[in-house]
Amino acid sequence: MTTMLTTEQVARGQQLLGGVRDGANQVLLGQNDLIELCLIALCARGHLLLEGQPGLGKTELVKAFATLTGLQFRRLQFTPDLLPSDITGGPILQERDGERQLEFRPGPLFANLVLADEINRSSPKTQSALLEGMQERSVTVLGETHALPKPFFVLATQNPIELEGTYPLPEAQLDRFLFKVEVPGLDADTMSAILTSRRRGEPPTIGLALQPGQLEELFELVDAVFLPDAIANYIARLVAATHPANPGNSQVAEAVRYGASPRAAIAIGEAARAAALLQGRPNVDFDDVARVAVAALAHRLVLQHSAVVSGVTARSLVEQLLQDVPAVAKPLPEEVQ
Amino acid sequence: MLAPVTDAIQRFRRRLRLATFVRAVSVASFAAMVVVAGVLLFERFADTQILTSLPWWGVWCGIAAVGLLAGFVLMRRTAFDDATVAQHLEQRLATNGLLLTASQGVALDASYQSQLTKRLTHTDTVLPAIRWQHLLMRPMAAAVLVIVVQYLPSEITQQSSNEALEVAVERLKDEVEQVAQLESVPDEQVDELRAAVTELEERVATADNGLWREIDQLQERIDREEKLAAGDDGGAGGGNGESESDDESAGDSNGSQQPFDRAQLAAAMSKLGKMDKQGKLDGALLGKVMDALPGTIDDAAKQAIAEAVQEDGSVAPEALPEDPEALAALSEALAETAEQLGGESEALAEMAAGMSEEQVDAMADELAALAEQFDAGASDPDAPDAGAPDLGKQEEQLKADISEDLAKTAAEMAKAGALDKLPEGLREAMVEAGLSALENMDLQKLMSLLPEDLSQLTVMAENLAKAAEGMSGEQGSEAGEAGGPQPSEALKTKMGELAKGLMEKVGRQAAQMQGQPGGQQPGGQQPGGQQPGGQQPGGQQPGGQLSGGQMSGGRQPGVGTEGGGHAALRLTEDTQGGLGKVDVELPGRDPDDLPKEWVPVTIDKAKPEVGEAHAPGVGRAGATGRGTATWQLRLMPRHRDVVRRFFAEKNKKNK
């Protein structure tokens, strides 16, 4: 018989996650939902793409997570002249014991937490250099494959308004991000709090929230969260409903050109586990799926050109699908209430 | 699985099964009651008894049985499994997924188990409630409908039924009055029909069941009387003489066709009887006649006709079948058969000697001149008496001299359709004189002179038949109007028979070409226009003798036949006429005699097609894909504002 997390284990998980969340909340004020989504992505061992206007604290958030988790952090500022070898590293000629030989020198990608700042400013060639690292957790240079350190996260940011000289990420790379989170703006109260509590906007100094080994413990707890068959079926129906061939509603049929991949369903499942643990549950519930579905699905939908011009967004489509796709596949008769 | 979880799921499931069963019964009983209401309504208007013969409790029990049975079946089909029930229960109890986890057999921690157990205590409050009002609304409405239809006042449905009956009886009444105006219908019959209609009128008020059937029977009886009356009227002049009957029958063929000509049938049957009495009609030949009859006549009718021919040649009409259409078709077939079995046309067929059109035209001109002489001599009342004997001698001499030529000319002009050009007096005199000579002419010699080409024979026969028909129609009408002498019936008959002879030859030719038994005439216009194109025992001599160069009919036993298949082929000189090998000397080759119509065939190199030279490239002038890449460029959501701004600025500049 399968056993699930005990109350103590769930509480332990909540405690660990709560520490990271509280620390991040000290750095980034008024962005609790964003922080939780980032935490969920981190627990699900997925990569995160933050999209927002400049000055919203995206970079600070990533740096705060690196500090709180104690992970090795590297920052990559993507520019159009950035080469793949600049991020993956490459062979250099070394002389040892009177012999010259090519020796691989790891690039900034070899870190636990990589901040790919303004990732859409680099060329597609450089962007694609991230593909193997994000999916396989390894880098291949000159036919030699080098494993990336564990855990490995890529937290990328991109600016949606400065589009000149940028290279939009291809769908294959977007699909490798577990979440794409749009960083919302701040309200006046939050900005007032920032002004009064921080000089020159500098965040407060924070310490480690997770001791060495606790992150691995957190990962094990997330993996132990139970995903019932009914919920897995709901996730599958939700992802299948994004395809125009089998649309969940008429809006999807008209606006979506390509639906989400099975990788999206896997991402939702893993993220829902982390969300359940964050909520203090030993198992996934329908609410956990609804909580992570928008962030996991929206960037994976390829919309029709007409839909884009008419203002339809993938986020609104997913939100509508969450209402249209029933949690139970077989509804009760109308004569029953 | 925890016991409370199992118990809760089963309770929820039982409630769902009950709701599903009630819903299925509701739907099924609703459908059954609608059907019953429809049947009851149909019974009311159609005056039938399908359900009304059953007791009312039986009908309702039937509805209930159908509803229960269908409900049981539908409930089985739409049953909810435990997993689905658990999901619905999870939705209602909001156990944060613990119920789903426990229903899959996962061992819950004690605290979570206690949480779940605590939530399961509220199961009774979340069990599905059946919306009885929603479920029973449609069945109740259907039940009310059935009751209303069942107890619908009979006057409502009876009225429309009576109206239809009254209209039908009124129509019958009108038709009886129409029949009463026909003189040939006996008064007793009319009175009887009137009495039947009156009886129907009285029964309409009661709207008896089966009244429609009686109305239909009476309608058929009135129609039959009308047809019989029409047949009597059409054949009323039959007893005045054969010629008059023939005229009427010819007129019938050109005008409206009578469904049943009793006189024609009687004449045909009488003729058959006489032939039988003379020994010309043996049993085999009668059987052949019967086989040649149209297929619409069944065997019983044929047998009745055979029995109707009496020993003395008379016909017993009462022994004939009563189907007017069958009798009509039978009468035509018998008349046609009798005419052909008469055997009087063979001699006249010899007249159809092959002559050129120039000869026919010259002879027509000559005869026209003679006609003017006849007319001048006959119509000049002021001519001196002394000259009359000379003129009579001259006329007799002329007739004697050209009698044989006239016979040939008649056939030739008939072939060419030139008889219409002749004056009436000459036409009659020529044919009378010619026909008297035709009887003594050598038939075999004339027939051998006919062309062997089937198409020429066919054209000749059709023209001759058309001429005979034209003579009978035009001469008869014009002479009748002028009060002059009637056109010779012998002329019409002989010309018709001459056409028959030609048609027989055509038939023989066709049979030889197709390898079929002789006598199968090609469907076409028959002499006199009286007989439809059909089967005729053409080429059959009286007594069943076959003429030379023919194949037997294949049905006559004992005469050159071997069973019902193909008959033996008797090859004679005639049959070999078109098949014999003839040596034809081909002309020598001379280059100067080559045909000039040939088309020279040459082989030319194709001219190169030089088009506009250009070097297409992406975005360059002439490139096929120019603009495609721009058009297909996918506009990302974050680019949308930039694109809009770009076009907005561009529009401002343009303005």
Using one digit for the tens of pLDDT, what is the confidence trace for B237-250? 333 333 333 434 33
In 3D space, the residue among A134, A167, A157 whose CA is nearest the CA of residue A49 turns out to be A157
Residue A307: predicted pLDDT: 86
Q: Which of B73, B81, B105 lies closest to B10 in space, CA to CA?
A: B81
Q: Which of B517, B496, B524, B521 is nearest to B507 (CA)?
A: B521
pLDDT at B516 over 70: no
| pLDDT value of position A269 | 93
The pLDDT of B207-213, averaged and rounded, is 69
- Chain B partners within 8 Å of A51 (Cβ): 638
Q: Residue B128 contacts by C-beta under 8 Å, 6 or more apart in sequence?
A: A332, A336, A337, B12, B15, B16, B19, B88
Percent of chain B with pLDDT over 70: 35
> Mean pLDDT throughout B613-639?
57
Confidence at residue B20, expressed as pLDDT on a 0 to 100 scale:
85
DSSP SS3 for B209: coil
Question: Which residues from A are below 8 Å from B105, CB to CB?
Answer: 1-2
CB contact under 8 A, A308 and B636: yes
**The predicted structure's pLDDT at residue B537:** 39
Q: Which residue in B80, B105, B638 is closest to A330 by CB distance?
A: B80
- Please report the pLDDT score of residue A235 as a whole number: 93
Main-chain dihedrals φ then ψ at residue A77, nearest 5 degrees: -95, 110
Q: Which pLDDT belongs to residue A231?
A: 92
Who has greater pLDDT, A155 or B565? A155
pLDDT of residue B402: 47
For residue A73, the Cα-to-chain-centroid distance in whole angstroms is: 16
Q: What is d(CA A130, CA A138) in angstroms, rounded to the nearest whole number?
A: 10
**In this prediction, does ipTM exceed 0.85?**
no
Beta bridge partners of A96: A99
Give the Cα separation of B330 and B336 in Å (integer). 10
What pLDDT shows up at residue B316?
59
Q: Per residue in A170-200, is it b (16+ CB within 10 Å) or e — as a string?
A: eeebebbbbbbbbbeebeeeeeeebeeeeee
pLDDT, tens only, B368-380? 565 455 445 444 4
More confident position, B635 or B159: B635
Separation between Cα atoms, residue A56 and residue A63, nearest integer Å: 13
Give B387-436 pLDDT, tens digit per residue.
344 445 554 554 455 455 555 555 566 555 555 555 565 566 555 555 55
Region of A142 on the Ramachandran plot (φ > 0 left; ψ -120 to 50 alpha; else beta): left
Which of the pair, B156 or B421, is modelled with greater confidence?
A: B156
Tokens of B232: 């009597």
What is the Cβ-side half-sphere exposure of residue B312, based on CA atoms within 13 angstroms?
2
The whole-number pLDDT of residue B54 equals 76
| Most confidently predicted of A229-233, B47-51, B312-316, B504-508 | A229-233
DSSP B299-363: HHHHHHHHHHB-TTS-B-GGGS---HHHHHHHHHHHHHHHHHHT--SHHHHTT-----HHHHHHH
Q: Which residues pair with B614 in a beta bridge?
A: none
What is the pLDDT, as a whole number, of residue A237?
A: 92
Does residue B292 surpass a pLDDT of 60?
no
The answer to whether residue B318 scores a pLDDT higher than 70 is: no
Residue B284: exposure state from Cβ atoms within 10 A (0-12, 13-18, ≥19): middle
Per-chain mean pLDDT for chain B: 63
CB of A292 closer than 8 Å to CB of A312: no
Instruction: Please judge whether A285 and B634 are an interchain contact, meaning their C-beta atoms are less than 8 angstroms apart.
Output: no
- What pLDDT is recorded for position B599? 61
Q: Which has more confidence, B199 or B269?
A: B199
Average confidence (pLDDT) over B336-348: 46
Q: Which residues are registered as beta bridge partners of A75?
A: A115
Contact (CB<8Å) A228/B88 = no
Q: Regarding predicted confidence, which is higher, B63 or B637? A: B63
Nearest to A309 among B107, B110, B635 (CB): B635
Which residues of chain A are under the pLDDT cut of 70?
1-2, 162
Q: Pick A220 or B477 by higher pLDDT.
A: A220
In chain A, what are the domains?
Answer: 1-224 (3.40.50.300), 225-337 (1.10.8.80)
pLDDT beyond 80 at B49? no
CB atoms B97 and A284 under 8 Å: yes
Q: What is the DSSP string of B111-155?
A: HHHHHHHHHHTTHHHHSPPB-HHHHHHHHHHHHHHHHHHHT--HH
Residues in chain A: 337
Size of interface A-B (CB pairs under 8 A): 118
User: B97 to chain A: nearest residue by CA?
Assistant: A285
**Most confident range, picked from A29-33, B382-386, B494-498:** A29-33
In sequence order, what are the beta bridge partners of A182?
A: A51
Residue burial B433-463, b: 16+ Cβ < 10 Å; e: rest: bbbebbeebeeeebbeebeeebeebbbbbbb
Contacts of B640 in chain A (CB under 8 A): 308-309, 311
Chain B residue numbers touching A299 (CB-CB < 8 A):
none
Query: In whole angstroms, what is the distance from residue A250 CA to residue A272 CA?
Result: 27
For residue A328, give the nearest of B88, B105, B129 by CB distance: B88
**Strand, coil or helix: A156:** strand
Q: Phi then psi for A301, rounded to 5 degrees?
A: -90, 135
HEC states along B364-419?
Answer: HHHHHHHHHHHHHHHHCCCCCCCHHHHHHHHHHHHHHHHHHHHHHHHHHHHHHCCH
Contact A2 B84 (CB under 8 A): no
Considering only CB atoms, A335 lies closest to which of B23, B86, B108, namely B23
Q: Say whether residue B96 is in contact with chain A using an 8 A CB cutoff.
A: yes
- Please count the other Cβ atoms lying within 10 Å of the Cβ belonging to residue A113: 23
DSSP A96: E
pLDDT at residue B258 in the model: 39
Q: Are A8 and A45 in contact (CB under 8 A)?
A: no
pLDDT at position A233: 92
- Indicate yes or no: CB of B101 within 8 angstroms of CB of A328: no
- Dihedral angle, C-alpha B176, B178, B179, B180, nearest 10 °: 90
Are the beta carbons of B118 and B99 closer than 8 angstroms? no
Q: Give phi and psi for B255, each to the nearest 5.
A: -105, -145
User: Residue A273: its pLDDT value, please?
Assistant: 92
